Amino acid sequence: MNNNELTAIIKLLDDPDKTVFKIIENKLMGEGCSVVPKLEQEWMNPERNELFRTRVEDIIHKIQKDDLISNLSNWKDDDNNLLKGAWIVSKYGFPDISFNALSDVFESISYTSYFSLDKNYSPLEQIKILNYLIFNKLKFNPCSNRDFLNPNNSFISHTFEHREGNIVSLAIVYILFANRWNIPIYGINLPKNFIVAYVSQINNKVLFYINPFNRGAILNEKEIDFFLKQQNINSQSQFYNPCSNSITIQRLLYSLKNSYIHNKMANKVEDINSMLKVFKKGLSEKIEWE
């Protein structure tokens, strides 16, 4: 569709005939994200009425949501890149951010604290250095209790910018920097929490656990047992073993969903549910993930 055709079609969005509007909406939806800049431009036209603006807003939202679901579906089939998965979730709150821009931010932050680990450092020594870099030098912090249910805390772009995150986003930051510096850290899918583990490169066994939301505090298996008992949750192997990036991103989406539930944003909760449906073998709804 050329620019003149697009302009002509968009002008019909204020047609009171719902049948006409549905035809126009379907045409625009079929064009995908390429029409969003033009729709935004026309939305700003002072001559447009309220009906026109409302319809434009709705179409842009639908196009962007469909694009997110498509990106997430493509990503889950090859979930090696955790940063990319977190970026897709971030685009729900910040649609204009590109992956290259986010990746550049991450590289810039990690470059300022680049270091090379001595091969003789023990795992605990490595984590001590990693904690210093993330929490002292780079100044990443857990979000405050007052701000805990702010949806922005689930967006990695916001976490990078403000150096503050919730349980899941901060764990993702921890994993990303650990992997950037060749430290074998993996996510642990713990209900009502999300922690990480140091995994031996010799036998692939968990050596110990780490809580990024508590500034990198070291935990052992007995402390995980105690936590689950406190929460009246039956122990399962998945709560002790490394999880996939796909599971990590699902937990990030659950965190975002919980924020929207708390803030009574029903439409956004519905959007996140649509994104979670992408994961056909998703997390069990019987378990309270947040």
Is the confidence at residue 119, as pLDDT, over 80? no
Question: Averaged over 81-94, what is the pLDDT?
Answer: 96
Is the confidence at residue 288, as pLDDT, over 70? no
Nearest CA among 25, 13, 6, 23 for reference residue 52: 13
Question: What percent of the chain stands above pLDDT 90?
Answer: 77
Tokens, residue 226: 């105690």
Question: What percent of the chain stands above pLDDT 70?
Answer: 95
Please, what is the angle between helix 50-76 and helix 82-93, to 10°? 170
Which band of pLDDT confidence, cut at 50, 70 and 90, is reported for residue 129?
very high
pLDDT of residue 3: 81
pTM (whole model) above 0.75: yes
Is the confidence at residue 290, as pLDDT, over 70? no
- What's the whole-number average pLDDT of the chain? 92
Give the residue carrying structure tokens 């007052």. Answer: 146
pLDDT of residue 285: 62
CA dist 149 and 247 (Å) reads 21
